[in-house]
Chain A
Amino acid sequence: MKLRKLAVAASVAAIGLSALFTTPAAFAAEEQFFPVLAYRTGAYAPNGTPWANGFVDYMKLTNARGGVNGVKMIWEECETGYATDRGVECYERLKGKHGGATAVQPLSTGITFALTEKAPVDKIPVITAGYGRSESQDGSVFGWNFPLVGTYWMGADVLVQHLAKKEGGFDKLKGKKIALVYHDSPYGKEPIALLQERAKMHGFDLSLLPVAHPGVEQKATWLQIRQNKPDYVFLWGWGVMNSTSIKEAQATGYPREKMYGVWWSGAEPDVKDVGDGAKGYNALAMQHGAEPNAKVVKEILEKLHAKGQGTGPKEEVGQVLYMRGVISSMLQVEGVRAAQGRYGKGKRITGEQMRWGLENINLDQKTLDSLGFAGVMRPVQTSCLDHMGSAWARIHTWDGKKWNFTSDWYQGDEKVLRPLVISTAGRYAEEKKIKRRTADDCKK
């Protein structure tokens, strides 16, 4: 009994001493903390895991490169299971750790909706690269949301542009039938506003077909598609819903060539299990696709995986969702770099300073090339008013074995997107009594 008490006392003392000595030392080394809200278990794990692996690997690579002007990235992972309540719990648990979170990436539109009102209070930017609220592109209202590189409205706009090009012009879309098969959640509902706007403009018929979480039962949905015979099907799914949609399309004889997924419905986990049945299926590429030959991929393999320090399997490095994680991570690292440019190189920055950094990202092609992203993505330039920074996308198609790019680059049409963003953000500002930020506010 005495021995047991002694052991407990020694353990407590050891923990206390280690906290005493290691915590200040950690701060002395200047570290930048990022919570990692991930999902490696549950219904969406097949898609969440590669993203998280890419996200973490790029932070490791940044540290292997010497950090950002010597400041090392540190992170702590929390499992959300893609559930909003668990996501908020993870955020609350991690936001104050290691001197405070620099930024947070929830990888869920539902969690993003929940954090949107918390971020201004906590002064922690919410980065949602390729997801989240589309109207949060308007930085004058959504001061803390950053839907970098793509919003769902932009994605949906590019899909309509692609169909118009395929059909020979926007006027040829008149009378066409487009069905949107979507995950019945805030995520899946996001593109509806833009598609309805485009449907009014061009006279195509839009039918909406929601699929309940997690999306494993879609027979009735695809029977309706078989009955209505739409000219095209847009797929806004996530996780197992994607592969189930493609399988049901096969089972009901709907041509996969006429299916277009959003960029969260166009990765290896969505098609590899379907094999030849997915041949011809198209999806948006949020700039990048599978990039096994990118310089950054080779560097990750060489500096991390070859040394046994990679996160996840080597074979996954360079796949679509892994690359999405890498790019999301790179954007936040570049936000830190931009902020350091103003607030002091080699210094740890706060969440508020990070916001300034994210609003002043200027990644030209030369910088992207030097970071190893040549051919992977196009330049990104954000501002106080534009929190997206880039509106480019293209289409890639599954050939039964791999994804291949099958279109040119498209840019989201600002003439269509901007009024929708401004009016929707304006309504939000009115409802929440938010005063739009002015040019002076942006300088702070």
Chain B
Amino acid sequence: MSFFLETLIGGLMSGMLYSLVALGFVLIYKASGVFNFAQGAMVLFAALSMARFSEWIPQWLGMDNLFMANVLAFAVSVAVMFIVAWLIERLVLRHLVNQEGATLLMATLGIAYFLDGVGQTIFGSDIYKIDVGMPKEPVMMLENVFEGGILINKEDFVAAFISAMLVLALTIFFQKTATGRALRAVADDHQAAQSIGIPLNRIWVIVWCVAGITALVAGVIWGSKLGAQFSLSTVALRALPVVILGGLTSVPGAIIGGLIIGVGEKLSEVYLGPYVGGGIEIWFAYMLALMFLLFRPQGLFGEKIIDRV
């Protein structure tokens, strides 16, 4: 029983981290109707920026304070992500207003390759450390209830908590602020939103900035766990089944989807894996998402599309 609980909790915590990346997809889709294939590349770019600036800033300023170095590096990385967002709007999206969804998708694919390449060119392609003081040693809980107790990874726990806070903030932003409502209006219909005076270009810059900050938080957390390196961009692939399952337009969907995928893949690997040779968690996540789609094509929380004919 304790092992099952450990696997379950481990899955839930991984799921929260997937949700964090999935949120980036949802944010941009909600606000612009664009499926942003570059989200993984943005996570990598942000993580590399954080890692390298936290290394370079103390050298440039001759300081020896890790906390200050991290704060400054985070601030610089926020600025970097804002610049990236602005450039994407200016150089790519502005020219594609009212184009087909597939065109915009391909544009984000191009952005992904560009960010992957330019990120490694500017910041390097080694594994870089992000040390934000995340606890690395595990902790044992409920030792009196279960023999040997339940092992909890403190780092995952802190990461899941930060993810939950970010999700909460974003939900409030989307539901309760004027900008959030404007973002949703743009997502529904570009032309209609423009006709009632919503400035499309500014909205796109805002949403890419928010997605950039989400990517930065995800990059810092994943980078602290795995080191800032190229594989972070592949983390986005883990978030794809999450958005398929949760629905592309729903923030709560990204969270619930993340939790289901996280738990599903861990339980499948541990309990089914040994019977089929192991290494199944990645494709199992996609299979799980596809099975959900059979019953709810719009995802768990996605909006039903109704067209009049």
- Which residues of A are at the interface with B, using a C-beta cutoff of 8 A? 40-43, 45-46, 49, 184, 208-212, 214-217, 219-221, 223-224, 226-227, 239-240, 243-244, 247, 250-253, 269, 272-273, 277
Contact = CB atoms under 8 A, between A and B. Distances in A.
A223 B6 contact: yes
Contacts of A220: 7, 10, 265-266, 269-270, 273, 281
Given A217-B281, A220-B270, A226-B6, A239 B151 contact: no
A243 B10 contact: no
Contacts of A221: 269
B7 A223 contact: yes
B3 interface: yes
A43 B234 contact: yes
Contact of B231 (A216, A226, A227, A251): A216
A273 B14 CA distance: 21
A41 B151 contact: no
The size class of the interface chain B forms with chain A is 35 or more
Contact of B120 (A45, A216, A219, A273): A45
Contacts of A210: 277-279
B270 A224 contact: yes
Nearest 6 Cβ contacts at the A-B interface: A220-B269, A210-B279, A45-B125, A273-B227, A184-B279, A214-B231
B129 A273 contact: yes
Nearest to B148: A226
Given A210-B277, A211-B279, A219-B10, A243 B125 contact: no
B282 interface: yes
A243 B126 CA distance: 12
A49 B120 CA distance: 13
Given A49-B126, A184-B278, A273-B127, 20 more contacts: A41-B125, A43-B231, A45-B126, A46-B125, A46-B127, A46-B229, A216-B231, A216-B232, A217-B281, A217-B282, A220-B269, A224-B269, A224-B273, A227-B270, A239-B231, A247-B226, A250-B137, A251-B153, A251-B156, A252-B138
Contact of B227 (A211, A226, A243): A243
B94 interface: no
A254 to B, nearest CB: 10
B281 A212 contact: yes
A40 B121 CA distance: 10
Contacts of A251: 136-138, 153, 155-156
A215 B231 CA distance: 9
Given A46-B229, A212-B281, A269 B126 contact: yes
Given A227-B3, A247-B136, A269-B127, A42 B270 contact: no
Contacts of A252: 138, 151, 153
Contacts, number: 112
B52 interface: no
Interface of B: 3, 6-7, 10-11, 14, 116-117, 120, 125-129, 136-138, 151, 153, 155-156, 225-227, 229-232, 234-235, 238, 265-266, 269-270, 273, 277-279, 281-282
Nearest to A250: B136
Nearest to B268: A220
Contacts of B227: 240, 243, 273
A60 to B, nearest CB: 22
Could you say which of A42, A184, A211, A273 has the most chain B C-beta atoms within 10 Å of its C-beta?
A273
Could you say which of A42, A49, A209, A227 has the most chain B C-beta atoms within 10 Å of its C-beta?
A42
Given A217-B238, A244-B226, A277 B3 contact: no
Given A223-B7, A239-B231, A253 B136 contact: no
Contacts of B6: 223, 226
7 contacts: A41-B125, A217-B14, A223-B266, A240-B226, A247-B136, A250-B138, A252-B138
A219 B278 contact: no
A210 B279 CA distance: 5
B235 A216 contact: yes
Nearest to B7: A223
Contacts of B3: 223, 226-227
A412 B265 CA distance: 39
A49 B281 CA distance: 30
Contacts of A223: 3, 6-7, 10, 266, 270
A46 B231 CA distance: 11
A41 B269 CA distance: 30
Contacts of B231: 43, 214-216, 239-240
A46 B151 CA distance: 31
A417 B231 CA distance: 36
A363 to B, nearest CB: 32
